[in-house]
Structure 1
């Protein structure tokens, strides 16, 4: 797009080195007004410095918003109802945060009359796709600026030189090569690059920020009970909690017991493989508990269908298709399945592991009368003979044919 086309842009602004430089670069390149938006998704950082940096840069419209409850209630919980894991392991902590940030950017653009939005994702990663697919899904004619794909600053040294030239404050630990990059929110932390790029080398312990090592966890297990209503966790040990409070508390349990670490080489949407170190302490506990309550409340057909659809759902989230019709269709099906997923799950947390050790519900489909090894009056075992013969019919016909052809 022409630099004269942009009048006002909403920048997803963290206050860090990259986005601070982007703020100045946008003004210089497009001669436009910049609105900054900083979202508190539970990343654990003080956000007031971002406001101060934006004010120092002469920004008039500064948005800093606490979106933790929205994040967990409207994004994390729906995803957890699906038991979503990308490539069977990844709990999608970065992926699920992007649509909320993008949605709020578009809303702020409408509120302020901005005609463009800007993100700080690189041209090698997934986040550029996630942000921009969300932007276009919500406002098809929005102008999108992706500096990492446009500017001439191709290294950290170049960023620091630009910052010093324009008197942009630089944190001392940003002077030089960072050992790895980190993305964080209330659901997880993600660490990638530099010291972690060789997948053959074990990640050093200092990479982990949300969990103690399993070896350092207590020698006695911790037991907790999580209550569910319609597939969502609503209480811990009988104490009702809001979604963000729930995840915060589960993060504490996970941290203290070394739960939720993952060393993964994944397939990025853009085509390359990447190695990431993820910590999802509360989410790991939540997922195990959810599967535990589904074990006794979901019919076999519904449970198996959900498991068949889960990889597709997870892929849609990972690929940035949160606002696509197919994700919404799958969500409607998943939410329908959760109408009777109510009850309580008891969990044992111990040195990196989380195990379901009990579950009960007024909506349980589990019948002790039917499964007992003792004599009962509800199940005639002789009925199994006809059931087996009917299911074996095609196998017997195949065997007869194959034997005749020998």
Structure 2
């Protein structure tokens, strides 16, 4: 009989390398490794050889960068998603795409299960498994870090390194970088190690070598730089007059934002599983895009439509953070968001300088801003009669006067 097949989300790091070998031994199964190219750059070097050497029967290394930018990052940015007021959801938004492709591979290969190296304390386990549940409930999920026999065998990194050495698995485990990193097209995140102390100063001069995508603001150029972003229906379609795909926009903005020290965030956030965790993030291009998109909306989006969409930002961001990308409520909100973006078209000009983004102009062929109405001078259009505000204020003040009168009587 043919062996059972398991599709493993594989990064080539210590954890997933050990898990690949352990799954093959424990389940006597054929392990198919899968790596999503979502912008890790050099981290993908040598993965195919390493996976096969470790015991995988085959490996998929799929370039999903275009899909990631177009179908995940852009829709999320249209929604204005920002988790707990700071986090642009760089890791969160990548997981449903990875899990979606894993499910596709599992079905194509006739696999009965997918597996991942996410720990039982983190958010990623939830994101992977909720996506699998939504898209392929018939496929099983193996999470080794939640299995007692796995944790007993590997109580710490020393045991994992020893296991890798025993089985001839090349690993790069070093105390030189005592933290974990996760990189993709939207950001890079750092957590654990010395970052578990919230008093540790990630912005200190001595720690600037930790950062990958950006220079420190102090080391950014002394000359400001301007950039113009062109939008069509809520999506950035070009920079400085040149048409670009979503992937090209993200790559160009990452380089530009990194050059000027933009997009660093150090925060303590609330994980879905209940604990607080400290993360440091670099999101240079995403921070520029997020800022520009909001500026474009300010000129072109109807007030009450904007306020309605904004009332859903926290809910939407939490859905993404918690792994509910393919949930019906996220899809329903997305439909409203897409409708809200129909007139978000025009050009935003920004000034970048030492970690700062400053508005430098916005224009649109469908602008809702009318200078004749907004002017403090005489209104040539006579579209707004200042005297009308008297009745407007009187009506809005009525309930306040009634409430105040009742309170005054009660205090007598």
Once the 2 structures are TM-superposed, how far is the Cα of residue 400 of structure 1 from its aligned partner?
1.8
Tell me how many residue pairs correspond in the alignment: 401
2:21 and 2:55 in contact (8 A); partners too: no
SS of residue matched to 1:215:
helix
Q: Report the counterpart of residue 144 of structure 1 in structure 2.
A: 141
Q: Give the equivalent residue in structure 2 for 1:47.
A: 44
User: TM (normalized to structure 1)?
Assistant: 0.96
Residue number among 323, 326, 329 corresponding to 1:323 in the alignment: 326
Once the two structures are TM-superposed, the CA of residue 45 in structure 1 deviates from its matched residue by: 2.0
2:117 and 2:2 map into 1 onto residues whose CA distance is 20
Which residue of 1 is the match for residue 18 of structure 2? 21
Q: What does residue 390 of structure 1 align with?
A: 395
Work out whether 1:335 is the aligned partner of 2:338: yes
Aligned-partner SS, 1:95: coil
SS in 1 for 2:265: strand
Describe how 1:82-121 pairs up with structure 2 within 5 A: 82-121=79-118
Are 1:160 and 1:175, in contact at CA under 8 Å, matched by a contact in 2? Answer: no
- Distance in 1 (alpha carbons) for counterparts of 2:67 and 2:135: 18
- CA distance in 1 between counterparts of 2:176 and 2:42 reads 21
Residue 155 of structure 1: aligned partner: 156
Indicate conservation of the 8 Å contact 1:109/1:117, yes or no. Answer: yes
Give, in whole Å, the separation in 2 of the partners of 1:193 and 1:175: 14
Q: Distance in 2 between matches of 1:98 and 1:87?
A: 19
Q: Please report how far the alpha carbon of residue 5 of structure 1 lies from its aligned counterpart in structure 2 after TM superposition.
A: 12
Matched, 1:278 2:302: no
Q: Are the equivalent residues in 1 in contact too, given 2:225–2:353 (CA < 8 A)? A: yes
Match of 2:56 in 1: 59
- 1:177 is displaced (CA, Å) by 7.5
| Cα offset, 1:55, TM superposition | 2.4
Q: Distance in 1 between matches of 2:130 and 2:212?
A: 30
Aligned to 1:164: 165
Q: What are the residue-to-residue correspondences of 1:338-349 with 2, within 5 Å? A: 338-349=341-352
Cα distance in 1 for residues equivalent to 2:376 and 2:160? 70
Q: Secondary structure at the match of 2:324?
A: coil
Contact residue 6 and residue 32 of structure 2 kept, 8 A: yes
Moved more, 107-116 or 198-207: 198-207
Partner residue of 1:219? 222
Distance 1:47 1:126 in 2: 23
Is 2:405 the partner of 1:404? Answer: no
**Displacement of 1:206 after TM fit?**
2.0
Is the counterpart of residue 7 in structure 1 residue 4 in structure 2?
Answer: yes
For residues 117-171 of structure 1, give each alpha carbon's deviation from its aligned partner in whole angstroms, at most 9, with x where no partner exists.
Answer: 0111111110001001111111112111111112121211010011111111123
1:366 aligns with 2:365: no
How far off is 1:58 after superposition?
4.5
5+ unaligned residues in a row in structure 1: which ranges? Answer: none
Q: CA RMSD in A?
A: 1.5
